[in-house]
C-alpha cells in the first residue's frame, strides 16, 4: 500500500511542479488547429465516400 501512496505523491509533485502547462492563449490556438484539421479530414473522407458511392452505383447500373 505504501508503494501506491508514494506513486500518487510523486505523480502529484510531477503534475504540479515539473509539467509546463500551456497558457490560455496557447490552448485556444491548439484547439482551433485541431478543429480545422478535423474538418479538413472530414471533408476528405466525405469526398472519398461520395466518389466511391458514385463509382459503385455506375458500376451496378452497367450490370443491370
> pLDDT tens across 29-48, in order?
999 999 999 999 999 999 99
The pLDDT value recorded for residue 41 is 98
**Cα within 13 Å of Cα(60), Cβ side:** 6
- The domain segmentation of the chain, as residue ranges, is 22-64
The pLDDT value recorded for residue 29 is 97
The pLDDT value recorded for residue 60 is 95
Dihedral (C-alpha) 50, 56, 57, 60: value to the nearest 10 degrees? Answer: 180
Q: Is it the case that residue 64 has pLDDT exceeding 90?
A: no
Amino acid at each position: 500500500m505504501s508503494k501506491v501512496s508514494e506513486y500518487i505523491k510523486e505523480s502529484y509533485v510531477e503534475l504540479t511542479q515539473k509539467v509546463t502547462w500551456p497558457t490560455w492563449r496557447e490552448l485556444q490556438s491548439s484547439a482551433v488547429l485541431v478543429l480545422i484539421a478535423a474538418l479538413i479530414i472530414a471533408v476528405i473522407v466525405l469526398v472519398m465516400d461520395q466518389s466511391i458511392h458514385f463509382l459503385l452505383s455506375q458500376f451496378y447500373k452497367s450490370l443491370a
